[in-house]
Structure 1
Amino acid sequence: MKETNGKTQPLQLTFRNPPDNYFFMSWNWPLIRKVCLWIFLSGLVAMVGLVIAMISTLPNKCNPPTQWYQGNVLYEIFPASFYAEDKMVGDLKGISKKADYFIKLGVRGVRLNSIFASQNYPHDFENVTSLVNIEPSLGDLTEFKVLVKTLKSRNISLILDLPVYPLVKQLSHRKMNEVKNFTIPEPTKDLIEEALQHWVINGVDGFYLKDLEHLVDDPNFASSLRIWKKIVGQDRILIVSENVVNQAPKSIINIVLNNIDLVDVILDIKSGATAVSKQIGLIQNSTLFSKPGMPWIHWSLGNVKSRRLANVLPYGNATLGATLFQLMLPGTPSIFYGDEIGLNEISDPEGQIQDIKHLHQLAMMPWQGQRRRMLPWIHGKEFTPHYDQIKLISEMTAVREKSPSIYMNSVYKEGINKANAEVKYAQKEFLVVQRWYPRRKAYVVACNLGSSQLSVDLSTLLYSGEIIVGPREDSKPGSISFKDISLWPGESVVIVLH
């Protein structure tokens, strides 16, 4: 509208006459619409397919991660007694041939007791003359590399015992020079540093520094430990005895804890439920559980120096129950070869082989389906291996591997780090330990450490659950009430709580 002489008149709009045909009017619009529709539908289908693929590849569990040595099962071997195919002593080649046995057991690392040359191996296996030269009767470096390759192809790490004392009685003062990925001491390497670098290059993933507690008062102990850890790196481990932690001066204890990965603790299971409960409590209340990042516990029931588990427990076939209990503890359990089948030490009632009394626990490992060999360096009476125990131990390691309540060692919450294990009951040689983790199922292991059948009422502590492992080889899974739980001597049962 516009105003003219005071009057409002309609506004006239004029347009140019359009051309008869715009250029796009001749396009094939039906085809264009079909193409656009198919492109849209194809894109929609592709997006739906992508979403489905992403969902299908998501892990069905979100378990907290750990390092390879944390919470997994290790296996300790005395090489001369493990497997001898055609020689008079077990060797590295024999261990390679039995690599699938480790898979069957569910172990993540294999630890070899001293493989180093000595004057009279294996009788004086601890008195080594070198930390780099392999005992010739066990094999050579080529066979060692084959063993490393064989184990790594099965995702199994190799750990070596390094008997540092008494070969090394004094640590030298070192200066550190950073060269690429290694910290190389100057001006020359000492025996331990040379050994660590040598075996790291040859594929070893960890070292147990044996008898290191004899050197904790050395003025160069802290600096040496730092160098050793830098040589092996963060992906490889250093193991020490709990005596190192207990005996280290307070002024260097933080350095010690920051440069070791596992602390070996021998569980005094032969002393009964009360002693074991007290030992577990002391460890859980120690510095090792005070905060995240502390070294993990390396639980042992026996080792190369101790008597056989089957010979010290009060009941003849108690090794299965003890091992199941060990596999339920917070930390890294280590099985000594043969304990999984109840291997006995050498029987010598007439005292005919007292010259090797310190080796009686290192009996030859028997293998199912193979005639047991009596090696000339160590022999004794036949015994009946409990091969059927292997199945239950394998089942337990499988449960442990997938259950954070078991393989984790602690829970960090609101600034407090706490072991995720609790002794629920420890009376009359009957021991019950509960394992738990936030938003995960809780587990219980009940163990009879006595010499007679025991029945207890745990209904005020626990309600009910499902038996998943044990107590015997022929046991079947099923529900269980804690109103009346009964176990024979040496038995353990693992239960997932409702």
Structure 2
Amino acid sequence: MEEKPNRGLAPPPGEIEIHTPDWAKHAVFYQVFPDRFARSSRIRHAPGLKFQPWGSEPTLDGFQGGDLLGVVDKLDYLEELGVNALYLTPIFTSASTHRYHTYDYFSVDPLLGGDAALQELLDAAHRRDIRVVLDGVFNHTGRGFWPFHHILENGGNSPYIDWFTVHDWPLNPYPKDKDTPSNYSCWWELAALPKLNTDTPAVREYIFEVARHWVRMGIDGWRLDVPHEIDDDDFWRTFRQVVKGENPEAYICGEIWSEARRWLQGDQFDAVMNYVFTGPVISFFAADTFRQDYLHPHLPFKATEADGLAKQIDRMYGLYDWEINFALMNMLDSHDMARLSWITQDKSAVRLCVLFQMTMPGAPCLYYGDEVGLTGGPDPECRRAFPWHDESQWDYDLLKFYRRAVALRRAHETFRVGRLCTLKAEGPIYAFSRELGDSRSVAVFNASTERQTVRLELPSRVEKRLQQVWPLETHEEHTVDGTSLSCTVPARDAIVLVQED
């Protein structure tokens, strides 16, 4: 077989000027799992459709009826929370609650309200300067996808035979048990998810047209599901050209759980879901409480002392250009892992993780419901319905905290695009500064259960007064002498100081 050019090769250094969308650097994302976020009374479904009661125990195949107009109806809430970008898990027509089993890429699932509901969401969100990013599942489809169905009906005589990879006949789309292998290429040997053959030119053109279509409709970017499994850099380079040709400021973010230099050279993705951030942060701030039997298998990096956290953070940001670093989607949890509160088992650890997320480079991404204390273990427990139906379940103190932490990030540009300098990483103390022009922020985190007095050497002389902006309820002692800072940090908290231009 002829070897394909450019596969797996990074572009030569210095040949590409890296640019990521400016809005993404200033974004606070909110991840929505549509079936479980909100159900709107404005959706008129056909008579007789049956959903599980809202708030039922989550199951892999139980539809609870969330929809896109439900998201529209909650935009006031989301705006008050402070988020300015939405990442929606798949919304195209599919036969699964999570909709990763796509069978029509050119239509929004009628259960979610169809294309009209998406257009209303885009229009309403954009009026509020909230961006909307969709989930693109281009490695595999559902077995109901029409070209695959065509092969089921016509066998090897189907014109679409090269859209998939068939190993044997007759096709076995419904194996009798889990030990019976499928006889066509599929994702993780799941017969319900036949793998597209992206070496076929018609498949590539189809995917590129899907990407083009929805950007033209007004979406602000793509989150790409398992893009590393389309092991062809030239495919993703062309994908980028197609998307950026429609909107140069569209955001392209890949689901890569490990380091991702291969895809972040300026010619493929703008960013990745930054799970490299997740493991060290959770394990440091929840060192005494996090479930030792759980970090997701793709989150191997643990850090129980500040120096370990610093090494992981420094390594992570050293992987990429700062245009990339500022646009990384920094995760603490998602639909693919247990929720933060379940992993940490400690509300103070949740608070420290979130505040750290809001003050570090990269766009924070909040998973729906975390802010009101929604919890749950691995899938499907992590996909519970948002408790709109019972606000007695809400943790209002935690919600207030989230709003304040998001507001802190959005109020100070240094936390979004300021350069980062680690000041101290020792024992329970992790301190850093962020600088942008003449503006400076200093954050000192204390993971211990006792107050700590900390002395820091700053990277440059302080010419103006540093103002405390966190905690908001108390004034903590701090003094500055030239390039030295002394401060007292409350137990299981942080002190944040800013010096504005």
What's the TM-score once normalised by structure 1's chain length? Answer: 0.67
Cα distance, 1:211 vs structure 2: 0.5
Q: 1:421/1:454 Cα in 2 relative to 1: closer, same or farther (>3 Å)?
A: farther
Do the aligned partners of 2:21 and 2:249 also contact (CA within 8 Å) in 1? no
CA 1:363–1:446 in structure 2 vs 1: closer, same or farther (change >3 Å)? farther
Write the distance in 2 (CA, Å) between the matches of 1:293 and 1:360: 32
Structure 2 CA distance for aligned equivalents of residues 425 and 384 of structure 1: 39
Using a 3 Å threshold, how does the CA distance of structure 1 residues 209 and 458 change in structure 2: closer, same or farther? same
Task: Give the direction of change, closer, same or farther, for the CA distance of 1:136–1:492 in structure 2 (3 Å limit).
Answer: farther
In the other structure, the counterpart of 1:283 is: 316
Aligned equivalent of 2:117: 143
Aligned residue in 1 for 2:469: 468
- For 1:245 and 1:199, the matched residues in 2 are separated by 29
Of 10, 32, 42, which aligns to 1:77?
A: 32
Alignment of 1:328-347 (within 5 A): 328-345=359-376
Q: CA, structure 1 residues 321+205, in 2 after alignment: closer, same or farther (shift >3 Å)?
A: same
1:362 lines up with 2:362 in the alignment: no
Give the residue type in structure 1 aligned to 2:120: V
Q: Could you tell me which residue of structure 1 aligns to residue 97 of structure 2?
A: 121
Question: 1:448: Cα distance to partner?
Answer: 3.7
1:29 is aligned to: none
Distance verdict in 2 for CA 1:166–1:448, change over 3 Å: farther
Once the two structures are superposed, what CA deviation does each residue of 1:203-256 show, in whole Å capped at 9, x if it has no partner?
2111101110111x33743543344334443021111134586373xxxx67x5
The alignment status of 1:495 with 2:494, answered yes or no, reads: no
- Letter in structure 1 aligned against 2:131: S
Displacement of 1:154: 0.8
- Residue type matched to 1:170 in 2? N
Distance 1:341 1:479 in 2: 31
Q: Superposition RMSD on alpha carbons, in Å?
A: 3.1
Q: Report whether the alignment pairs 1:454 with 2:450.
A: yes
In the alignment, the residues of structure 2 paired with residue 235 and residue 492 of structure 1 have an alpha-carbon distance, to the nearest angstrom, of: 35
Q: Which residue, out of 194, 198, 204, partners 2:219? A: 204
CA 1:398–1:85: 2 relative to 1, 3 Å: same
Verify: 1:270 aligned to 2:303, yes or no: no
Partner SS for 1:235: coil
Give the percent of matched residue pairs that are identical in Structure 1 and Structure 2: 21
DSSP 3-state at the match of 2:366: strand
Determine the C-alpha separation between the residues in 2 that align with 1:101 and 1:265.
26
**Once the 2 structures are TM-superposed, how far is the Cα of residue 308 of structure 1 from its aligned partner?**
0.4
Give the secondary structure class of the aligned counterpart of 1:393.
helix
Corresponding residue SS for 2:107: coil
Q: Cα gap change, 1:80/1:270 in structure 2, threshold over 3 Å: closer, same or farther?
A: same
Over 3 Å counting, the alpha-carbon distance change for 1:313 and 1:438 in structure 2 is same
Alpha-carbon spacing, 1:432–1:131, altered in 2? closer, same or farther (3 Å): farther
Q: Is the 8 A contact 1:82 1:95 kept in 2?
A: yes
Q: 1:98 to 1:141 in 2, by over 3 A?
A: same
**CA offsets, 1:51-81, max 9 Å, x none?**
xxxxxxxxxxxxxx97221222111111111
Query: Aligned pair in 2 of structure 1 residues 279, 245: CA closer, same or farther (>3 Å)?
Result: closer
Give the number of the structure with larger relative contact order, counting CA–CA contacts within 8 Å between residues 6 or more apart: 2
Q: Identify if the C-alpha distance between structure 1 residues 275 and 314 changes in structure 2 by more than 3 Å, giving closer, same or farther.
A: farther
Q: What residue in structure 2 maps to residue 238 of structure 1? A: 252
Matched AA of 1:277: A
**Aligned letter for 2:470?**
V
The structure-2 alpha-carbon separation of the partners of 1:236 and 1:305, relative to structure 1 and needing over 3 Å to count, comes to same
Task: Report the secondary structure of 1:312's partner residue.
Answer: helix
Letter in 2 for 1:461: E
1:7 aligns with none
- Name the structure 2 match of 1:434: 433
Asked if structure 1 preserves the Cα contact closer than 8 Å seen for 2:226 and 2:256, the reply is no
Match of 1:133 in 2: 107
| Equivalent in the alignment of 2:185 | none
CA contact 2:133–2:220 (8 Å) conserved in 1: yes
Candidates 229, 235, 257, aligned match of 2:243: 229
Q: Residue in 2 aligned with 1:170?
A: 197
Deviation at 1:270, TM superposition (A): 1.8
TM alignment of 1:33-48, pairs within 5 A: none
Name the counterpart of 1:181. none
Paired residues of 2:387 and 2:393 also in contact (CA < 8 A): no
Give the direction of change, closer, same or farther, for the CA distance of 1:494–1:170 in structure 2 (3 Å limit). Answer: farther
